[in-house]
Structure 1
């Protein structure tokens, strides 16, 4: 049996995760972007930013991700890092777990920015692992037996969650033949990269 041809990945694909300060709408306190190049993680060129928010981090949010106001006091504000984040994300496909959330928050912080496409590993997992007990990132880490030995930081930090999501994407991608086949399942309707609906058939005419 001949080996299957690997998926032709896009030239720029970044697995992203963001953490907020608990406000509504949230201000960013951490952004991580981990490249996938030719179907492999590239941790050597990953982007990660810690941000001092204009509104203090709530106690609940700090308990979730561990980023306190005291810790973030030494880091730059969003206007100071915004250009660098935009340049890093520019023209790339992005991938996230429950990608609507990350895309919405990033788009609000980067007016005019639009990725080449958006992969949602939650949507992809529901199609790929329909019998999984649940489709949260924690449940899928266990279900797919992901090895997170080398993941940075800890769960609910953006760098860790981006690493876990990237491994999940690569694990599921092994079950798809082509990139268009994967994106047909993984891109949420209405977000960049979603397959276009077929053109309606023209009614036959006399001429």
Structure 2
């Protein structure tokens, strides 16, 4: 399965105010494995206008820096060829898709939905997974322990790379721990999948078993005591312990 992690930087927050795209990045992932950097798509774009002050503070891409960069019309064919048929992964997808649809409309090139197989919005998914929590890309990086120390300003390419790691963490995509995708690419090849999983376990070695200390067991028991009291003796774990003891 071919997926593209995509991000844009723009001259401002509202497309309705005539803002434009000034940077676009797309990172390829095939069967949940990131492709090498030479397979990525990354362009700075002359937006033909200045950035709003707030946006400039975020991305740091000045009008002078962008003055000699190609306009969107000059890169659109390369961009559409790169994303064609793929599933897009975007954080806050309506924002980026809205801007891309605007740029395509200016050129009479249809909409993004004409070129891709679908769109995953990681912001929407994160809100479902962590309701009431902060779910910005920075917050998700912190939650999933993704290193973002190299990110001083927002940039489309580095944001794509960070989002790729966040997405794999969100979807528990640790394929390398269990299955070598090059050894069994057909999901219906059960024998191949089993062999690949066995080989991966051999490479990994036996899983370590770490027993809880006496202090940890005591802390756990105290927690269950408090929980059982709070629910008036209806603690599920306590009832399971009782059932196990009388079995």
Q: What is aligned with 1:120? A: 121
Q: What is aligned with 2:169? A: 171
TM-score by length of 2: 0.61
The question of 1:15 aligning with 2:5 is answered: yes
Cα shift at 1:127: 2.4
RMSD: 2.2
Q: Aligned with 1:26: secondary structure?
A: coil
Cα shift at 1:172: 1.0
The question of 1:40 aligning with 2:33 is answered: yes
Q: 1:64 aligns with which of 58, 62, 71?
A: 58
Map 1:1-207 onto structure 2 (within 5 A): 10=1, 12-22=2-12, 24-44=17-37, 45-110=39-104, 111-112=109-110, 113-114=112-113, 115-130=116-131, 133-148=133-148, 154-174=152-172
Query: CA distance change for structure 1 residues 155 and 161 in 2, over 3 Å: closer, same or farther?
Result: farther
Measure the CA separation in 2 of the matches of 1:155 and 1:169.
21
Count of aligned pairs between the two proteins: 164
Q: What is aligned with 2:240? A: none
TM-score by length of 1: 0.72
Cα deviation digits, residues 26-68 of structure 1 (max 9, x gap):
2110000001112122242110010011122223221110100
Measure the CA separation in 2 of the matches of 1:129 and 1:43.
31
Q: What is aligned with 1:200? A: none
Measure the CA separation in 1 of the matches of 2:78 and 2:5.
17
Structure 1: unaligned runs, 5 residues or longer: 1-9, 177-207
Q: Aligned with 2:88: secondary structure?
A: strand
Structure whose alpha-carbon radius of gyration is higher: 2
Q: Which structure is richer in relative contact order (CA contacts within 8 A, separation 6 or more)? A: 1
Measure the CA separation in 2 of the matches of 1:175 and 1:81.
32
Cα shift at 1:154: 4.3
Cα deviation digits, residues 6-38 of structure 1 (max 9, x gap):
xxxx2x210000011126242110000001112
